[in-house]
A and B are shown apart, each in its own frame.
With several copies, the nearest count.
Chain A
Amino acid sequence: MIFSLLVYAAPHSHQGAETAYRFAVACLAQGHSIHRVFFYGDGVHGATALAAPPQDEPNLPARWQALAQTHKLDLVVCIAAAVRRGLLDANEARRYEKPGHNLQQDFELSGLGQLAEAAIVSDRLITFGA
């Protein structure tokens, strides 16, 4: 079955960010495919390259990246939600003349249309709320 996930919760702030990751792992373990993971609202903070959690707390952006590399996941971050919250890739940093960028590798900024498209082509869309 084809799943897509909508992650609307930020790591360390709301448990939904971690539940989403666990769900993705369980989903792939059962042989399902994940068409896209879409990060929206505060969920965009789950795509930062700069998170440095304590040793005994998971680094979710790093875990998503590792999962994406193994399973060729499409990790998309809502660009409008991201740039207003200070999450930029190199392009957006240039466009807005900001001193740096902080999007974790293997994540991509794109429009909300990617959420609509994911809902259309997937069998199930599961939201992880804040």
Chain B
Amino acid sequence: MSTNKRFLIISRRPPYGSSHARDALDTALTTAVFEQPVSMLFLDDGVYQLLQAQQPAGIQQKNLGATLSALPMYDIDQLYVCDSALRSRGLGPDDCLLPVQLLDSNAIAQLIRNHDVVLSF
């Protein structure tokens, strides 16, 4: 594939309750395999995906947090989080299982302008 496009995957849903979070993650990983630059932006309940110590064996699902931890190995290291989404839930960067960059509203709008393809889940 010759053309390069900058991809932004927005993930807004909590893990496990529905397939959205898993689908967002699979899309990010697949796009990275296609050697396109991929960023992820966690908004709203999507920030819950980043919580440590997820143990989903009892609900018969795969550990989404474990897959998220592997993102940097796929060269997906541009991970952004809505500052107010995190803080309004009583959480901070230390609660996250990965290093993330906090963005305010202006920075989110700018992040979008800097990407060619934006997929939201």
Count of chain B residues with a beta carbon within 8 Å of a chain A beta carbon: 25
Task: Decide if B111 is an interface residue (CB 8 Å cutoff).
Answer: no
Contact of B19 among A13, A56, A113, A119 (CB under 8 A): A13
In angstroms, Cα B16 to Cα A77, docked, is 23
CB–CB A115/B3 < 8 A:
no
Query: With A56-B62, A121-B3, A129-B120 in contact, is A116–B17 under 8 Å at CB?
Result: no
Contact of B16 among A15, A41, A112, A119 (CB under 8 A): A15
Count of chain A residues with a beta carbon within 8 Å of a chain B beta carbon: 29
Residues of A within 8 A of B7 (CB): 116, 119
In angstroms, Cα B119 to Cα A39, docked, is 14
CB–CB B119/A125 < 8 A:
yes
In angstroms, Cα B17 to Cα A22, docked, is 15
In angstroms, Cα B3 to Cα A109, docked, is 25
Q: B19, B20, B117, B121 — which one has the most chain A CB atoms within 10 A of its CB?
A: B19
Listed from nearest, the 4 A-B pairs whose CB atoms lie closest are: A112-B30, A116-B34, A116-B31, A119-B117
